[in-house]
Amino acid sequence: MGHPPPPGTPPAACRGSMSRILIFNAGSSSLRSALYRVDAGAADCLWQDHREQPPEQLGQQLDDLLATIPLPVDAAAHRVVHGGPQLWRPARISEQVERAIEQAGELAPLHNPHALNLLRRVRAQLDPELAHIACFDTGFYHDLPEVAATYPLPHGISSEQGLRRYGFHGLAHQSMLAGLSACHSAASTPRRVISLQLGGGCSVTASLDDRALDTSMGFTPLEGLMMRTRCGDIDPGLLFHLKRSLGLSDAGLESLLNHDSGLLGVSGRSGDMKTLLEADDDRSRLAVELFCYRTRKYLAAYTGVLGGVDAVLFGGGVGENAAPVRAGILEGLDYLGIRLDPDLNSAARGERRRISSDDSRVEVWVMPVDEGALMARQAAELLTRET
What pLDDT shows up at residue 287? 99
Do the bridges between strand 211-215 and strand 311-315 make them parallel or antiparallel, or are there none, so unpaired? unpaired
Q: In which band, very low, low, confident or very high, does the pLDDT at 27 lie, cut at 50, 70 and 90?
A: confident
User: Closest Cα partner for 291 from 316, 256, 310?
Assistant: 316
Catalytic residues: 137
Which range of 13-17, 48-52, 159-163, 337-341 scores highest in mean pLDDT? It is 337-341
Name every residue whose Cβ is closer than 8 Å to that of residue 26 and which is 6 or more positions away in sequence: 54, 55, 78, 79, 111, 114, 115, 117, 118
Q: What's the mean pLDDT in 135-144?
A: 95
* Average pLDDT of the chain, as a whole number: 92
Q: Are the C-beta atoms of residues 218 and 224 closer than 8 Å to each other?
A: yes
pLDDT band (50, 70, 90) for residue 108: confident
**pTM, entire model:** 0.90
Burial class (CB in 10 A: 0-12, 13-18, 19+), 319: buried
75: β partners: 21, 131
Looking at residue 55, its pLDDT comes to 67
**Cα Rg of the chain (Å, integer):** 21
Whether 113 has a pLDDT exceeding 70, the answer reads yes
pLDDT tens readout for residues 271-325: 999 999 999 999 999 999 999 999 999 999 999 999 999 999 999 999 999 999 9
Helix (H) or strand (E) holding 363: strand 363-366
Residue pLDDT, tens place only, 140-181: 999 999 999 999 999 999 999 999 999 999 999 999 999 999
Longest CA–CA separation in the chain, Å: 69
pLDDT of 3 above 60? no
How far lies 204's CA from each of 212, 275, 315, in Å? 10, 23, 10
H-assigned helices in the chain? 60-67, 95-103, 112-125, 146-149, 155-161, 170-182, 236-246, 250-259, 262-267, 273-278, 282-306, 316-321, 323-330, 342-347, 371-386
Decide if 232 contacts 226 (C-beta within 8 A). yes
Using the predicted structure, report yes or no on whether residue 5 has a pLDDT greater than 60: no
d(CA 175, CA 137): 12
- Average pLDDT of the segment spanning 61-83: 89
Please tell me the predicted confidence (pLDDT) of residue 60: 78
pLDDT for 2: 40
pLDDT tens digits along 55-64: 667 777 888 8
pLDDT at 368: 96
| Mean pLDDT score, 117-126 | 87
Contact predicate 365/312, CB 8 Å: yes
Could you give the domains of the chain? 12-165+371-386 (3.30.420.40), 184-366 (3.30.420.40)
